[in-house]
Structure 1
Amino acid sequence: METLLQQLTRGNALVLIIILGMGGSFQAGYHITGISSPSPFIQRFINSSWYERYEEPPPPQMVTMIWSLIVSMYAFGALCGSGTVRLFSGMLGRKNALICNSLISIASGGIMLTSKRAKSYEMVIVSRMLYGYSAGVGLSIHLMYLGEISPKKIRGIVTLTSATFMSFGKLSGQFFGLSEILGREDLWNIILSVPVLFSVIQVIVLPFLPDAPRFLFIEKGDDKACKKALQSLWGQGDYKQEMEEMLAEQAAIEAAPPKSLLQLLRDRSVRWQLITISVICCCSQLSGMPAISIFSFDIFLKAGVPKDKICYIIVGLGLAEISSSICSGLQIDHKGRRPLFFGGYGALTVICVLITVTLNLKDSNYWVPYITSGLVVLFIICFCGGPAGATAALNSEIFLQSNRMAAFVFLGMHRWLLFAIVGLVFPFLINTLKAYSFVLCACMCLLGCLYTFFLLPETKGRTVLEISGDFNAITICGKSFAEEKSIETKL
């Protein structure tokens, strides 16, 4: 029996997975953490640029407002990018859409690099917005592409690589931000331009790799190109079973043509899928993980960890995140998705409660802050080793091809809107509620545990049509959305 590595290296699948990661979730992860370490340097740059332009120091509230724009325009750009995924990917295909998206990232890097010489904080704002747009498009298409190239036997681990590259991007942002590497005042614009190198690699290499087989067969109707793409990715073979599954899905799509986002939201037959990704996205974004990624310095400072030790603990968080993500990938196709969800969220609920306790006891002994740090590391291990990876797999498995594009638009907008809200609200929460802000996170994690345990069907090793049937079979108080639709049709 072939090992996973042998399956991935029989063709170009492993190369494509790496190249997709470089221009997809890696970029989003890097820009989440990469803005943290150069923040004081950028604020001083705003001050000096304002002074040279107007020959007077800027009002403090103006610096705060400009800095807030620099931070928040990334999420706004990503929200806009997620909303255009359908147009982008439908017109150009998965491969060409990612190539064009990488060109946007390269242009953003050029603007960022020249902003310092031009002494223009406006250019930094524009660059951050374009980076966000590129991340919003790239992350959605990356997930879609992975789901459409992978055989169902290893679909879990292939789609989970998006979470691994996200973790690697976050770790890279933390690593390059160290003062020993690029974390110096004269290099802040270079720190924010590092992902451009990976975008350049994607633009050079991706044209030589195949487009997604499902896209070629189902949306383009080109069975020869689909078979050629499968052989290029996974080695020689007839791939009869895979193409029969695509044919069955194509027949289902002909009965239900591709939907717009509004049509998808109105369709009762996918109501449980939409509720599921909404609940899981909310639990993921409000679990405390994004807040830890963005505000880890503030959290450790509140916990009482010495200031000069925090940057190294943060790099340790990145290492823990990527290690647990890889471990999750090795077990997801054996254990399934559901245990990773309800087990992970259950553990996170307990850890959030313990963090609340240790934050309240931080002044009782010198070693308590380090217990808090250990709990935060454990939180990241449980999150990345459970819900994070399972979410990446689930999003690619529960929608038919006709619904998938609109679903990824919905998911991307949902994700980035919540991310923007967390970025705006969490600083106020941690100042107002202090230790008790993690009680709210514990409640969201408990919701995720209960929902996935009682309502989420297992998707491991199942076709999209089988998974859709499982969702339609869900009943609450003896009723299901599928039954309601049937009654409406008869009337």
Structure 2
Amino acid sequence: MEQVPAKKERRLTLVLGLATLIAAFGSSFQYGYNVAVINSPAQFMKTFYNKTYYERNNDYMDEFALTLLWSVSVSMFPFGGFVGSLMVGPLVNNFGRKGTLLFNNIFSIVPAVLMGCSKVAGSFEMIILSRLLVGICAGLSSNVVPMYLGELAPKNLRGGLGVVPQLFITIGILVAQIFGLRSLLASEEGWPILLGVTGVPAALQLLLLPFFPESPRYLLIQKKDEVAAQTALKRLRGWDDVGPEMEEIRQEDEAERAVGFVSVLKLFRTRSLRWQVISVIVLMGGQQLSGVNAIYYYADQIYLSAGVKENDVQYVTVGTGAVNVLMTVCAVFVVELLGRRFLLLLGFSVCFTACCVLTVALALQDTISWMPYVSIACIIAYVVGHALGPSPVPAVLITETFLQSSRPAAFMVGGSVHWLSNFTVGLIFPFVQVGLGAYSFVIFGVICLLTTIYTFLVVPETKAKTFIEINQIFTKMNKVSEVRPEKEELEEFPPSTRGQ
């Protein structure tokens, strides 16, 4: 009789599968879409900015003012992401995980309407404001979706479902690249529609997500509603015997009762969370500072300098986006098989190697005729490596290495590092590229290498472990087993919690 739940636990039920798809499509997809959507129509939008300025002032903007205005339009998105990350803790603690995702749709539907109407209204300010709002939407969704799915999933599916948000980010990037082809919506008439499409997934999520359960962990630990938590678990698992899992959540609740809500300040002060916090900062910083956004923001220039014809660049960029989606699909299936730690080590190592070879290839491309092809191969290899580990795994690890009371604060820290690093790379890389030329990827290579070394030395494997078992690993690393529980997040747990 004991074996039945264990076998069933491995099953992906319809309710859990649909909740995952709706949450990821409605939220994560938009993050990816808005990262890439502004690249293709850039020239048409700059013309619109200048034309609007002329209609108001009877004069055109100078080149510096136009470039500055465009930089602000691009960088408002990661800045909004940073603002969104700071809102994660208060929102998920007050509205719940599902409630926050539903509330977050405001930050997508409103800017979608504004961007769609900006040309008719003759206002580039509407675009800049909208980029800030969709950035807030992305900042919230990039933190809340992995948290929500990580808390819905049984431990044996947590890694796979935790990678799904990243999969939808890559699909969003690819869809934006396809819609942004000059033959489709990257035109003088089409760009407002291209920008406004982001509201469609949000509207679908607003209609469908209310029919799915809230996180059982949130319902039991924070809302103290045992009946609602049990009902949600039964719907998610597809069977009635959810006793062992409820018991595990209860024990997590008891362990944390002395702690209460963990603020960001308390997160940094708590000794039993030291290595978890350092790991989040290193992995999130490594994820963004390793150069992935330099590849996406400036892929066109890299391909042009690698010798691709100007008219063919857009198709090569779409091809790169397709490779990214394909490798993230692979990550969904292998994260439980190979483990989080292995994928991080493999991914960052591949990125490090690609950066080293790309530096040599770009330095030699004027002297050796076939070097441009090596450059393109390096970019594709880099995208493959990043899609396997550095892109999807850090958010999964934040969910797994923190318990309920500290998880929102951990996502706020991780999200802030993520978006500030993203903003920094977007702002600084063009200047680095001018200053260092072919050697700009050396910096990213060094960051990949340092992150690989840190992962090898510090980050433990978390696959197929309960949140409590993972926390016990870090309790030993942080050397806090003798510290009084009211000062720390978790004491050692009895072995009865294992193997459920």
Give the Cα–Cα distance (whole angstroms) in 2 for the partners of residues 314 and 463 of structure 1: 40
- Check conservation: 2:185, 2:194, Cα contact below 8 A: yes
- Check conservation: 2:398, 2:407, Cα contact below 8 A: no
Give the Cα–Cα distance (whole angstroms) in 2 for the partners of residues 89 and 63 of structure 1: 39
Aligned partner of 2:497 in structure 1 is none
Give the counterpart of 1:482 among 476, 480, 483: 480
Aligned partner of 1:171 in structure 2 is 174
Aligned partner of 1:282 in structure 2 is 285
Give the Cα–Cα distance (whole angstroms) in 2 for the partners of residues 226 and 459 of structure 1: 25
Give the Cα–Cα distance (whole angstroms) in 1 for the partners of residues 309 and 8 of structure 2: 44
Aligned partner of 2:317 in structure 1 is 314
Number of corresponding residues: 484
Give the Cα–Cα distance (whole angstroms) in 1 for the partners of residues 186 and 9 of structure 2: 37
Shift of residue 11 of structure 1?
Answer: 3.3
Matched, 1:465 2:493: no
Give the Cα–Cα distance (whole angstroms) in 1 for the partners of residues 9 and 472 of structure 2: 32
Q: Which moved more, 1:27-36 or 1:367-376?
A: 367-376
Give the Cα–Cα distance (whole angstroms) in 2 for the partners of residues 170 and 438 of structure 1: 22
Aligned partner of 1:130 in structure 2 is 133
Gaps of 5+ in 2: 488-500
Q: 1:246-325 maps to which residues of 2 (within 5 A)?
A: 246-325=249-328
Give the counterpart of 2:42 among 28, 39, 42: 39
User: Residue type of the partner of 1:190?
Assistant: I
Give the Cα–Cα distance (whole angstroms) in 1 for the partners of residues 402 and 134 of structure 2: 28
Give the Cα–Cα distance (whole angstroms) in 1 for the partners of residues 141 and 259 of structure 2: 27
Shift of residue 450 of structure 1?
Answer: 0.9
Identity of aligned residues (%): 37
Give the Cα–Cα distance (whole angstroms) in 2 for the partners of residues 217 and 258 of structure 1: 15
Give the Cα–Cα distance (whole angstroms) in 2 for the partners of residues 340 and 137 of structure 1: 25
Aligned partner of 1:189 in structure 2 is 192
Taking a change above 3 Å as real, the CA distance of residues 65 and 192 of structure 1, as seen in their structure-2 partners, is same
- TM-superposition CA deviations, 1:251-280 (whole Å, max 9, x none): 111021111111111111101001001111
- Check conservation: 2:27, 2:201, Cα contact below 8 A: no
Q: Which moved more, 1:213-222 or 1:148-157?
A: 213-222
Shift of residue 100 of structure 1?
Answer: 1.4
Q: 1:58-457 maps to which residues of 2 (within 5 A)?
A: 58-457=61-460
Secondary structure (helix, strand or coil) at the match of 1:461 reads coil
- Check conservation: 2:174, 2:321, Cα contact below 8 A: yes
Q: Which moved more, 1:463-472 or 1:150-159?
A: 463-472
Give the Cα–Cα distance (whole angstroms) in 1 for the partners of residues 317 and 362 of structure 2: 18
- TM-superposition CA deviations, 1:334-391 (whole Å, max 9, x none): 1111111112212221111111111111113443212211111111111111222222
Give the counterpart of 1:7 among 11, 16, 21: 11
Give the Cα–Cα distance (whole angstroms) in 2 for the partners of residues 484 and 441 of structure 1: 41
Shift of residue 7 of structure 1?
Answer: 2.1
User: Residue type of the partner of 1:7?
Assistant: R
- Check conservation: 2:402, 2:410, Cα contact below 8 A: yes
- Check conservation: 1:398, 1:468, Cα contact below 8 A: yes
Give the Cα–Cα distance (whole angstroms) in 1 for the partners of residues 278 and 482 of structure 2: 16
Give the Cα–Cα distance (whole angstroms) in 2 for the partners of residues 232 and 138 of structure 1: 24
Return the TM-score normalized by structure 2.
Answer: 0.93
- TM-superposition CA deviations, 1:178-200 (whole Å, max 9, x none): 01221112111111111211000
Secondary structure (helix, strand or coil) at the match of 1:221 reads coil
- TM-superposition CA deviations, 1:18-48 (whole Å, max 9, x none): 1101222211111111110011111101100
User: Residue type of the partner of 1:277?
Assistant: V
Shift of residue 4 of structure 1?
Answer: 10
Return the TM-score normalized by structure 1.
Answer: 0.95
User: Residue type of the partner of 1:482?
Assistant: V
